[in-house]
Structure 1
Amino acid sequence: MSEPTISSKAAPVRFEGVSKVFGKDVVAVDAIDLHVDAGKLVTLLGPSGCGKTTTLRMIAGLEMASSGRIFIGDRDVTTLPATDRDVTMVFQSYALFPHMTVLENVRYGLTFSGFGKEEARSRAQAGLDLVGLKGFGGRLPSELSGGQQQRVAVARALVLEPQVLLFDEPLSNLDAKLRRQVREDIRAIQQDLGLTVVYVTHDQEEALAVSDEIVVMRNAAIAQKGTPRELYDAPNDTFVADFIGEANLLACIIVAVEGDMAVIEIEGYRYRLPGRSLPAGPATLAVRPSRIRFGDDTGIPATISKATYVGVRMEYTLTGAFGQVFAVQDDVDDPLEPGTEVRMTFAERGPVLLPGG
């Protein structure tokens, strides 16, 4: 498969030891190093207060770094105001002018960027076509759905052809079905045009769906960076394991190390998996709900304490000496009832060893 085309204007973004301190001692971002390749979509993901939005705003020039350097392409933009940076931002609130038509909203920024009236109109119309809103130019924002309004905001940003396009929680005001549709639209446009995009969200599923890379942030610092699959399959620690998708964290003992593999034990049940350079002794096993299996003869004793039918699958809560775990099973025709005794085992692949125990 050929490599996707990168826009001629798309530029990389680089942070070198960047910090942001509010007041005397409120550290919002703590000496982070970050690189976003040109033409890639990188998501900043983390809980509220972790520093992701402040990082995005420093790229935009809406916040100034307290220390460190920020580059867009080869240009040091650390001290430049937002008006002198070739970036645009799509906000969660859409920020459309209610008294202007859709076409006028999209054209607005172009008129301040030196484009003539007809060229601005032509570019604005092309932007609306690109986001699937051909024929909607004469409507007011109030006559559009939430998803359509968000597409107008995307079109308004795209027509400026920025070096970097920024998204700040762009789907938070949409319902679940619209979120899925609009995130697919954003991803398709980003890939088709080869744009550099930095995207902020607290929604793990959203991040997994749209990103080339995800930067997980915690306490003003970067906890881990990688592709969606790398972070899901090989988290560095319990925070990342639990934040990227849901994970059950079980205390275990590494009883043997055999080259790159390890043998762990939980209540007499032994399981072999990649050792990740951990020594023998206490550790933590991270297990996704979909990787839990139920056996009859071998495994960890457990009791089904809750069973919930959600249409396409069954959701189970299991309790035992290990505590409580959450599991999902595809078999909805023969569900297990609460009170059923089972033996809990794990899929051949999926569980991950982490430090601690």
Structure 2
Amino acid sequence: MSKAGPASVEFRNVSMRYGAVTAVDTVSFAIEAGQLVTLLGPSGCGKTTTLRMIAGLEIASEGEILIGGKDVTHLSAADRDVSMVFQSYALFPHMSVMENAAYGPTVKGFAKAKAQEMALEKLALVGLKGFEKRYPSELSGGQQQRVAVARALVLEPQVLLFDEPLSNLDAKLRRRVRQEIRDLQQSLNLTVAYVTHDQEEALAVSDKIIVMSNARVAQQGSPRELYEAPADAFVADFIGDANLLDVAITSVTDGRADIALGPARLNLPARGLAAGPAKIAIRPHSLLVSEPGLPNGLPGIVRKSSYLGNHVDLIVESPVGELFVVSPDTQRPRAAGDSIALAFAETGLVLVP
């Protein structure tokens, strides 16, 4: 456990400019001590710059950054109690696993025996006991990742930062390692800021997600809040695919909207919208494949059908445009050219402000 325990992180109206380019624009958020918070967004949205500002590798142009309630805005990386796990792991190839893990305390002037003792403890924690004498080139990607985590943990920082830590791993290993990171974060009560562009990864590990778009925060909240109540069309589409469609709100009563979606009629929470044109986000698994002629359904024709083992992806032409549908029915998959109707699930349909 950390000397001081995990610390909170707070950004207050922080901006980062490189000449005329604004990489991060007036961003505010808080990470509570002991939480794992993900910065999520497409390439170039400002998430890695934000992470580097927490680390002190970039110094903010404007605003305040607090760690554990203390203003660190102008402190260098060396003067902040923060460790970063880089995308490339950045292990020293000429050093053994032990030497890599003991690097931090060695540089800080700890005696060799003490530095090794600290390293051993953290290597055991990440499941690498017995690997101390190996070199990075003798390890798998997942093992290298763990050495990088052990090295970052060894000085027990107040905040641990991860920059796209799983991007070099194959899909199966990604799932396992992300769970390991989450388990470690919870068992050690670490404050973690985690950057990814992979929305499934963000949903799986986070207490809170901060979605960034064009150098700003688009929305922040729990995975469920972002998935079920996206603030706008960008968030709806970025977190778990969505069909974004134009609808007409015909009337609003007691906070619920009557909606015309082509020939179908829906009734959903109005989310502050009034009668008139609006947008709806419909999750692909919330469109249920049924037989033609279904009352209050959307008629459609299957244009493409892809069998993916535990589900079938369909592209369906409908009166409201092309729809992406994920069907669990792998026993009777629909083929291109089939006429179908689409019904609507109870969940996964939301009006987008």
Q: TM-score normalized by structure 2? A: 0.97
Q: Which residue matches 2:232? A: 237
Is the 1:7–1:39 Cα contact (8 Å) retained in structure 2? no
**Letter matched to residue 150 of structure 2:** A
Distance 1:312 1:108 in 2: 46
> Structure 1 pair 205/101, CA: closer, same or farther in 2 (3 Å)?
same
Structure 2 runs not aligned, ≥5 long: none
**Letter matched to residue 324 of structure 2:** F
Q: Which residue matches 1:332? A: 330
Quick check: 1:13 aligned with 2:13? Answer: no
Quick check: 1:68 aligned with 2:63? Answer: yes
Is the 1:103–1:137 Cα contact (8 Å) retained in structure 2? yes
1:283-302 equivalences under 5 Å are: 283-296=278-291, 297-298=294-295, 299-302=297-300
**Letter matched to residue 320 of structure 2:** F
1:113 Cα shift?
2.3
1:263-342 equivalences under 5 Å are: 263-296=258-291, 297-298=294-295, 299-342=297-340
1:6 Cα shift?
9.9
1:335-350 equivalences under 5 Å are: 335-350=333-348
> Structure 1 pair 343/29, CA: closer, same or farther in 2 (3 Å)?
same
**Letter matched to residue 280 of structure 1:** A
1:321 Cα shift?
2.5
1:1-80 equivalences under 5 Å are: 8-23=4-19, 25-80=20-75
**Letter matched to residue 5 of structure 2:** K
Aligned-pair identity (%): 59
1:173 Cα shift?
0.8
Q: Which residue matches 1:352? A: 350
**Letter matched to residue 336 of structure 1:** R
Is the 2:249–2:259 Cα contact (8 Å) retained in structure 1? yes
Instruction: Report the number of matched residues.
Output: 350
Q: Which residue matches 1:220? A: 215
> Structure 1 pair 6/308, CA: closer, same or farther in 2 (3 Å)?
farther
Quick check: 1:91 aligned with 2:89? Answer: no
Deviations 1:288-318 (A, max 9, x none): 1111112332211111111110111111110
Is the 1:253–1:265 Cα contact (8 Å) retained in structure 2? yes
- Where 1:9 maps in the other structure, the secondary structure is coil
- C-alpha root-mean-square deviation of aligned residues, in Å? 1.3
- Where 2:102 maps in the other structure, the secondary structure is helix
Distance 1:177 1:103 in 2: 27
Structure 1 runs not aligned, ≥5 long: none
Distance 2:309 2:209 in 1: 30
Distance 2:262 2:161 in 1: 49
Distance 1:6 1:327 in 2: 48
Q: Which residue matches 1:105? A: 100
Q: TM-score normalized by structure 1? A: 0.96
Distance 2:164 2:138 in 1: 23
**Letter matched to residue 314 of structure 1:** V
